[in-house]
Amino acid sequence: MVTMRLPGRRSLLAVLGGCVLVVATVPTVPASARPAAADDPAVDALLQQRLGNPRVGSDVGLIVIDAATGTVVSSHGGDSLMLPASNMKIVTAVNVLATMGADARFTTRVRAGATPNDLILQGGGDPLLSSTDLQTLATVAASAVPTGTKVVVHPDTSLFPPAGRGPGWTTGYLPYVAAPVVPLARLGDYSPDPAANATRVFVAKLRSLGIKAKLGEAATAAQSAPVLAQVSDNTVDDAVSVMLSRSENNVAEVLYRQVALATGHEPSWDGARQAAEQTIGGLGVDPAGMSLLDGSGLSRKDRVSPRFLANVLRLARVTKPERFVDIFESNALPVSGKTGTLATAYGRYVTKNARCARGDVHAKTGSLFDTIALSGLAQTTGGDERLFAIFVNHRPQRYSALSTRQVLDGLTATITGCWE
């Protein structure tokens, strides 16, 4: 087996939710230094044969392209418009990195309110906001509160317009699969009112510091109001890594709106859709005919083709790698049998035919009730790179979702050439 090495300048220790993920630095051969790959009839034939597995059913789309040349290695329904599920997050990652840049930071502020007894906790659309961030804000803001003052803390969520259930979202998704999209919410808070919950954490810290504080009604801070405290610890790169590795729907939907703000659109469902289509189109990947209705891929009305997503991946990997290197270099995309949603703990890359591809595939998973998807980058046994997108729609329900996922693992092992 060839261990996958993505282009690398650095090693990363990512601490997420108290768990430490050790991520290897992964160099690669520049595309310009690799020989142009020709069609691979043997791999194409194997893929076409293995797509006949009854666990994927008849509504399946696949495309495999050589990363260096763009040559199509294999295609089966590659131009069909299909549900991508969470593979949509790849498009969201490219769009936010293109419009904001990897190093841009999200800022949450505490501003003075209308009276000396009012504080405004102003959401800045930080998708990784934590209880620690809120406690830090409270500690700093407390120094500006006169001794003995009773304060009322008002959440300010005016950065985004009110947003209900997303277009095409199944009833019941909100808030358990994705919370209401607000610019003031802690990472992982899947509740009906994440802004109020965030404010309660802030209030609790004030109280622990001896300040009499309570939660107030929502309010909008005046832009001229003094800033008493602010925190800007989290970057776009951080958010993209969490979104892709953990398939975080809330993070995806906040970033979807950040793209709208960065491009001058209203951060609403429709404004964010326009921004997504405009941005990816401006990067040279034609979204004509596609439906990019949300950032997470939860919408049953999202539609993209495998070829479209493979072209987005090639844009990020080969055409403009300097802008999107963090998608691959930071191991944001899960690694086959190693990290994220492709770890063996989730039953991935554990079958006899797929184990040989462990470490050689970096890809985004996707799942809805009847949809399984996997798209990303595979390194072949010969050292070349191939980009692929595989969508299974209308998954046969007589088989488990895991068994269908494992078929896709085997397909990627075929793409690498390790399962002959």
- Render pLDDT for 340-370 as a digit per residue (tens, 0 to 9): 999 999 999 999 999 999 999 999 999 999 9
Mean pLDDT calculated for residue range 105-125: 97
Size of the chain in residues: 420
309: confidence class by pLDDT, cuts 50, 70, 90: very high
Mean pLDDT calculated for residue range 57-61: 98
Tens of pLDDT along 14-43?
A: 333 333 333 333 333 333 333 333 479 999
| CATH 3.50.80.20 residue spans of the chain | 108-234
Distance CA 384, CA 317 (A): 13
Q: ∠ CA(118), CA(121), CA(122), 5° rounding?
A: 125
Residue 147: the pLDDT is 85
Q: Is there a contact between 288 and 278 (Cβ–Cβ < 8 Å)?
A: no
Tens of pLDDT along 169-182?
A: 999 999 999 999 99
Distance CA 109, CA 134 (A): 10
88-100 and 269-282 are packed helices; what angle lies between their axes, rounded to 10 degrees? Answer: 80
| CATH architecture assignment, domain 29-102+239-416 | 3-Layer(aba) Sandwich (3.40)
Mean pLDDT calculated for residue range 263-280: 98
Distance CA 142, CA 288 (A): 52
Mean pLDDT calculated for residue range 41-69: 97
Q: Which range is most confident: 9-13, 51-55, 320-324?
A: 51-55
Distance CA 47, CA 63 (A): 10
CATH fit for domain 108-234, picks 3.20.20.140, 3.30.750.80, 3.50.80.20, 3.90.550.10: 3.50.80.20
Nearest to 202 by CA among 140, 156, 138: 138
Instruction: Report residue 24 as tokens.
Output: 């290897």
Task: Look at residue 214 and tell me whether its pLDDT is greater than 80.
Answer: yes
Element (H, E) at 152: strand 150-156
* pLDDT > 90: percent of the chain: 86
Instruction: Report residue 140 as tokens.
Output: 């700093």
Phi and psi at residue 146, to the nearest 5°: -60, 145
* pLDDT > 70: percent of the chain: 91
| CATH 3.40.710.10 residue spans of the chain | 29-102+239-416
Average pLDDT of the chain is 91
The string of DSSP letters for 125-147 reads --TT--HHHHHHHHHHHHTTSPT
**Pairing outcome for strands 385-392 and 361-368:** unpaired
Residue 39: the pLDDT is 74
